[in-house]
Amino acid sequence: MPTLLTDAKNLLSDLVARYRNRVDYLAIRLEEAEGTDILLRGDKVETLSEGLSIGGQVRACYKGGWGFASFNQLATLADRVEEAIASARLVGDEETLLAPVEAIQDVCFVPLIGTDPRHIPLVQKKELCDRYNQILRSTDRRITTTSVRYSDSAQKVIIATSDGTLIEQGWVDMEMRFAATARTGETVQTGRDTSGSRKAYEDLTTLDAQASSAAQRAVNALSLPPVKGNTYTVVIDPILTGLFVHEAFGHLSEADMAYENPDLLEVMSIGRRFGPKELQIFDGAAPPGHRGSYLYDDEGTPATTTQLIKDGILVGRLHSRETAGKLGETPTGNARCLNYHYPPIVRMTNTWIERGKTPVADLFTDIKEGVYARNWLGGMTNGEMFTFSAGEAWMIRDGKIAEPVRDVTLSGNVFKTLADIEAIGDDFYWDESGGCGKGGQSGLAVGCGGPSLRIHDVVVGGEAAG
């Protein structure tokens, strides 16, 4: 079974060679994935499974029209190629515009620096979850519900295209999620924390403090006063900065969003100023060691680092080969799919705001009344608008952090918020907890990073979202 993909390379190459002249573009992506999923809710085990899946997808493009077929039996692959080609030829009536990329032949795997989770017995992973669950439940008698979720996935992928690319690549991804809900009377508060890694199983075995902190935040918030809704100058920590740059700005930088929406394309015009001169925003899978890191995307385009905002001005966006071709720009290696059931679409990888020069303590200077928000509970975006719930928050009074408050939500328009950044901290943190959703493909691993930010005129609501 482990050698199935390697043995299939010749089959994929032969099929691509046989059918390539019937379409403008043909790609076959074959995937082998094995993983573990454990979910504990309270004292009940809801999920405890190990699985292996093998399957693939065929994508064909003819006169701008796409055909797609997925499969989980190699014996039917030729039939699926025929289906994808037939679909593409049925809908294609324009011009195929795919930005050119160099043909690549490569075999590569994202290296682990510690233990591979596949070498850890299921019972040991379950014991780890039990330990964290006990920490959550024993924090305080007011904790009413808890959940712990562990998952790992090892993927091996072969990509063969009619352009001559033949790539075999692989990686291992791991994630641990905690949540604890506390209640007293009618007041209910929740604390959450998530950690992820593409480096080592050990990264998920030392999270006792995070689990305890998540539960304690829920308990502490029960007795806190709700924030008074108003417009404030706000200081946010690097975790909220990472969430903001990913959710509020990053999705608008995905070029399929732009070319399918002329109004957004006009707003997101290259050369437009969006923030202060100190603002630098990047996305890229090329920096190693993060959850959104890889060597080639799911079209076989090499990973890059793309600067999206330079000195406050929009200078780039994220592309697949098709969006780059349609907009006359360069592919960035951002075509990704969750698994073989879905076609690759434009997705973020690791998205971050570069650290600034302002000492963090100075971000609070001269704020007569404001809010300091850390961590996150949840959030949502709708086009240019966003709303995020802070995991912890304090009032700022006369330049100092004052009393803690709860039910803090931050809302606004992303373009106005970027323009309202007053200072960028000299700290920086990578948050590896991200699981991104788009186009029905939820849970795709990403990284987010950034420094603390000071932003004026942020709408702060006094009720928690969700």
411-431 average pLDDT score: 97
Mean pLDDT (the chain, rounded)? 95
- Cβ–Cβ under 8 Å, residues 458 and 420: yes
> What is the reported pLDDT for 168?
97
Alpha-carbon 23 to chain mean position: 33
Other CB atoms closer than 10 Å to residue 342's CB: what's the count? 17
Cα–Cα distance for residue pair 259/306, rounded to 1 Å: 18
- Please, which pLDDT band fits residue 206 given cuts at 50, 70 and 90? very high
Q: Which of 239, 240, 265, 262 is nearest to 252 (CA)?
A: 265
152-181 average pLDDT score: 97
> What is the reported pLDDT for 130?
98
249, two tokens: 């700005």
Cα–Cα distance for residue pair 177/440, rounded to 1 Å: 21
- The residues, any chain, with a CB within 8 Å of residue 462's CB and separated by 6 or more, are 226, 227, 228, 229, 407, 408, 409
**Per-residue pLDDT for 264 more than 60?**
yes
- Cβ–Cβ under 8 Å, residues 269 and 424: no
Q: Where are the alpha helices (DSSP H) in 309-372?
A: 321-327
Q: Which of 337, 323, 317 is nearest to 256 (CA)?
A: 323
What fold does the segment set 4-222 form as a domain?
PmbA/TldD fold (3.30.2290)
**Per-residue pLDDT for 451 more than 50?**
yes
**Per-residue pLDDT for 453 more than 50?**
yes
- Please, which pLDDT band fits residue 5 given cuts at 50, 70 and 90? low
- Please, which pLDDT band fits residue 466 given cuts at 50, 70 and 90? very low
Overall size of the chain counted in residues: 466
**Per-residue pLDDT for 138 more than 50?**
yes
Beta bridge partners of 367: none
- Please, which pLDDT band fits residue 383 given cuts at 50, 70 and 90? confident
120, two tokens: 């850890």
DSSP letters of 205-249? Answer: S--HHHHHHHHHHHHHHHTSPBPPPEEEEEEE-HHHHHHHIIIII
Tokens 């850390």 correspond to: 374
- Please, which pLDDT band fits residue 1 given cuts at 50, 70 and 90? very low
Burial of residue 454 (number of CB atoms within 10 Å: 0-12, 13-18, 19+): buried
Question: pTM for the complete prediction?
Answer: 0.95
- Cβ–Cβ under 8 Å, residues 406 and 421: no
> What is the reported pLDDT for 464?
38
Cα–Cα distance for residue pair 110/197, rounded to 1 Å: 12
Cα–Cα distance for residue pair 101/27, rounded to 1 Å: 14
Lowest mean pLDDT among 3-12, 65-74, 154-163: 3-12
Distances (CA, A) of 64 to 21, 163, 289, 363: 15, 16, 36, 50
Cα–Cα distance for residue pair 13/19, rounded to 1 Å: 10
65-71 average pLDDT score: 97
- Cβ–Cβ under 8 Å, residues 234 and 395: no
> What is the reported pLDDT for 434?
75
> What is the reported pLDDT for 4?
64
**Per-residue pLDDT for 6 more than 70?**
no
166-190 average pLDDT score: 96
Share of the chain above pLDDT 90, in %: 91
Q: What is the pLDDT of residues 303-355, one digit of tens each?
A: 999 999 999 999 999 999 999 999 999 999 999 999 999 999 999 999 999 99
- Tell me the helices (H) and strands (E) count for the chain, helix number first: 9, 22
104-111 average pLDDT score: 95
Terminal CA-CA length for the chain: 44
Cα–Cα distance for residue pair 68/88, rounded to 1 Å: 8
Alpha-carbon 12 to chain mean position: 30
- Cβ–Cβ under 8 Å, residues 406 and 188: no
List the chain domain ranges: 4-222, 230-461
> What is the reported pLDDT for 462?
63
**Per-residue pLDDT for 444 more than 50?**
yes
**Per-residue pLDDT for 190 more than 60?**
yes
Beta bridge partners of 425: 358
**Per-residue pLDDT for 68 more than 60?**
yes
